[in-house]
Structure 1
Amino acid sequence: MGGKGIERSILLFVPWGMATLFQSDALLSYWIAYLGSFVIFALTLTGWVRAIPDDRPFGEQLMRPLFILHIIFAGYMCCTSVFYLLDTLGYESFVKLPSTILDKAKLASVAQCQRYYCLAHASFISGVLMFMKYPKKKKYFIETTAIADLLMKVALIAFPVASLFMRLPGLSQFYFQFSSLSFIAGTLALAFAIPLKKAVNTLICAFLYAFNFYLALISGFKEPIIISIMVLGIFLYPNYKKFVLVVFLPLLFVCFLILPAYVNSFRATAWSGDTDADDAAQQSLDVALEGGNDNWDFLVYRLSEIDMFITFTQSTPSAVPYYGTQLLKQSAIVVVPRVFWPGKPITEALVMERVYNAGVINRLSNVSAKPAYVVDAYLSWGAPGIFIALFLYGAIAQIISIKAEELFGGYILGTALMFSGLFQIFWRGLSFEFIINSVFWSYVSMLAIFQVLRSRGILKKV
């Protein structure tokens, strides 16, 4: 990044600085930080801070970190807390309740966490922009005519490989990598097959997509459903721009409206053990479409993670000191596969210990409440920790994306397939132990797949 780009990147921190300056007015401070994230989106996605790479048309590079990772990760982290704020101000289902007594201390905590989110957003995208320089010359290439078939083969092979890892003791963590890779490969293959009018490929890939969408529906989580629709729309966009804009954007909006009710109903029905997943999905879909479930609690407490973040900020550092490098040391332990260390501490137990220490949930509770990446950054070193950890988050994601394109001959196999498939955990921003472990072994998997494709002559050196 040149001098001008660095100067403009510094301006991304202005919303956080202004929000901090006005922190004595909690509501004003919140809105400055909240709207500041939209300013950051505007300045970066338009290419004002640093020019968008010109090696491909805009619509054909949407899977790069600047776009989909940025929108999903930062958008979820920074833009979903508004419902929690409204609830704090005394609103319910967007209606102000009479005789509401404002909790000023809670409002101040909401504003504080939103300022941390704004700082995290600016730091993260600065890391992406700092290293966003894709190579003009390719080191490896694959025949263009072979890409569509290769994508379908990857989808068909990756799924049974994922299932195999799930059954091997100590190696189940690789299941999630290859399962995600199979989904991305199948969806990308479908987007390739349709315009090429390859009937067999289209039929097989459509079946794979439908099967993955079904798994998303019965997962009990909203993210896989939204991602399934979003990814297909992004892959179809270069060839069917109007269709995607007219169909997929409204579809995503509808999902946002009905998924809270669907997920709430599905969990209550299927997870009780009284109803199988198929019947629960059908019943929950009926409930969601009929509007028979109130979404407000979902929007306030489950769509955003700010409630948990507030609890952590209230205990650290006042009651629980900053963790320093402890979480990084625990992450190094987690990286060792259990197959080589059967007695390795359970990752979930390591993560939950700080949840219990903060009083987020009781030790006797059977609930899981893992902190987000930004929360772990705060717990480690406070605001400076957020700046450093989130900058590294963006920088590492961007560096891996560039490496993937270097190894696999460009954007299609590099970023769209390998980076989006193996490193989808970047979209979610989980706890340090989970994210560091997954990224490390996903990188190893990427290098192994590269060697396989090179040895079989599929990837050729320029």
Structure 2
Amino acid sequence: MRPIFLLQLIFAGFMCCTSIFYFLDHLGYEYFVKVNPGNFVSNEQTYLIAKCQRICLLAHIGLVWGMLYYSSLKKTKIKYIFQQKQSDLYWLRIALFFYITAIGFQFLPGLLQFSIYFNNMAIFSASLLLLKGLRTKKTLWIVYGTTMFGLNFINATLTGFKEHIIVNVIILFALLFPYYKRAITLVSIPTIYVLLYILPTYASIVRQSWSGEKTAVEARSEALETIFQEDNEEIIDNTNWGFLTNRFSEIGMFTQYVDYVPAHHDFYKTEIIHNALIALIPRQFYPNKPITEQVAMERVYDAGVISRLSSVSAKTRPVVDAYLSFGYVGTFVFLFLFGCCVQFFNDTAERWFGGYEFGCIVMFNGCFQGLWRGNNLEFMLNNMLYGFITMIIVFRVLLWAGYVTKKSNLYNQTSESY
């Protein structure tokens, strides 16, 4: 669950490896079967795809280098350890605290963002309790972890978002893998394959409930019925291929940005960074602050990625914003700094919250799950700032309650190897 493994895996898989589907479609293939007759002739789009792949590779190098660079720094820090006896109720109190706090923030104007962080921490706490229960054979932990994780998964199936379901599967497999390597390896590959095959069709049908024509439960039942009917195989194939080439892989949109900048629009330089800094100001202090979503979508419209008349949200990714700002140099520098930041957040979480299990699994991933795949710079900086503030608040509460206490010690990276 540490950044060097999970975040890098998601970044490399999403930004780099998924482009193979778009490229196969460009070559005239569908599911590795050539559907367009004749010999392929490279064109301008071919070179744009290759250029975008090189930019993604450069970004990947910068990201990993940033993580490893920060990890290599020798840091003398004060560590903290849990003092309370780790009884069944001890961990349950923390998990329930996150869950209740998440519900409470939903009713406080302007603080919904903190509710999302606490809800994520509640989910990760439940997943961790499930893992700890399986390892220690403690029934109470297994029941709570299974119940909360199961309810969250069921809720994810009603949202119409593919990512919510995939994230739950990733969490479960990533937690169990260190202890059940062989079993998880054998189960994870076919599971991910099946999900990628059925989720596009499933999600498109569930989204019918958004218009109010059907309830989410009714739409889910129809989606499951469609998937399991053999005569709908062609529909699933077509929907899935469209997802793999245009949504799962966003390199198609990336080529449009690269074609637009700098040929038709100069590099944005500090404009995107400026917008991101403005977005950090709470609206209570800046009532006329521009709506962040609208500001971020302007460069999407300008590049012609989608029409202004469309209701689709197609925000940029960190690699795209980095390139649009300063080109190749910006791509490497931005992702290097991003790697340093995520490693700093993870190391700080582990140092404040007693190590890997609670620090990394619950706190880091709970507060910074939005950084797994990345978003545009406006939303990413916002996540970094307010996620870190959330982590500070939880740390201070646990320190005040006596759950954690100082342990002055030399920060020994070798004892927490990556």
TM over 0.5: yes
CA deviation map 1:307-353 (0-9, x unaligned):
11111111111112111111111111111122333322111011011
Contact 1:181 1:422 in 2 (8 A): yes
Structure 2 CA distance for partners of 1:148 and 1:354, relative to 1, 3 Å = farther
- The one-letter amino acid of 2:66's match is G
1:186 aligns with 2:126: yes
Q: Distance in 2 between matches of 1:147 and 1:130?
A: 38
Query: What's 1:45 paired with?
Result: none
Query: What's 1:26 paired with?
Result: none
| 109-118 vs 331-340, which moves further | 331-340
Q: Distance in 2 between matches of 1:149 and 1:383?
A: 52
Q: Distance in 2 between matches of 1:260 and 1:102?
A: 31
CA deviation map 1:64-84 (0-9, x unaligned):
111011101222111101110
Structure 2 CA distance for partners of 1:91 and 1:245, relative to 1, 3 Å = closer
Query: What's 1:85 paired with?
Result: 23
- The one-letter amino acid of 1:232's match is L
CA deviation map 1:43-68 (0-9, x unaligned):
xxxxxxxxxxxxxxxxxxxx111101
1:167 aligns with 2:140: no
SS in 2 for 1:460: strand
Which of 299, 304, 312 aligns to 1:359? It is 304
Q: Distance in 1 between matches of 2:149 and 2:251?
A: 33
Query: What's 2:411 paired with?
Result: none
1:329 aligns with 2:274: yes
Q: Distance in 1 between matches of 2:37 and 2:321?
A: 37
- The one-letter amino acid of 1:121's match is H
SS in 2 for 1:409: coil
CA deviation map 1:332-385 (0-9, x unaligned):
111112233332211101101111111112222222111111101011011111
Contact 2:132 2:141 in 1 (8 A): no
SS in 1 for 2:223: helix
Over the matched positions of the two proteins, sequence identity in percent amounts to 40
CA deviation map 1:226-278 (0-9, x unaligned):
221221222223443443233344323322222222223323x3234312111
CA deviation map 1:138-185 (0-9, x unaligned):
721114852764443333222332233333222222222122111111
Query: What's 1:370 paired with?
Result: 315
Which of 225, 236, 242 aligns to 2:176? It is 236
Contact 1:220 1:266 in 2 (8 A): yes
SS in 2 for 1:461: strand
SS in 1 for 2:71: coil
Query: What's 1:27 paired with?
Result: none
CA deviation map 1:165-215 (0-9, x unaligned):
333222222222122111111111111122222222221221100111012
Q: Distance in 1 between matches of 2:89 and 2:14?
A: 35
Q: Distance in 2 between matches of 1:340 and 1:370?
A: 26
1:104 aligns with 2:49: no
TM-score by length of 2: 0.90
1:202 aligns with 2:142: yes
SS in 1 for 2:249: coil
Query: What's 1:427 paired with?
Result: 372
| 352-361 vs 239-248, which moves further | 239-248
TM-score by length of 1: 0.81
5+ unaligned residues in a row in structure 2: which ranges?
408-418
Q: Distance in 2 between matches of 1:327 and 1:426?
A: 18
Query: What's 2:242 paired with?
Result: 297
Query: What's 2:57 paired with?
Result: 118
CA deviation map 1:402-436 (0-9, x unaligned):
11111112111211111111111110210000000
Give 1:133-148 correspondences, 5 Å limit. 133=72, 139-143=79-83, 145-146=85-86
Q: Distance in 2 between matches of 1:112 and 1:65?
A: 27
Which of 250, 257, 274 aligns to 2:213? It is 274
Q: Distance in 1 between matches of 2:244 and 2:110?
A: 37
- The one-letter amino acid of 1:274's match is E
Q: Distance in 2 between matches of 1:440 and 1:224?
A: 23
CA RMSD of aligned residues (A): 2.1
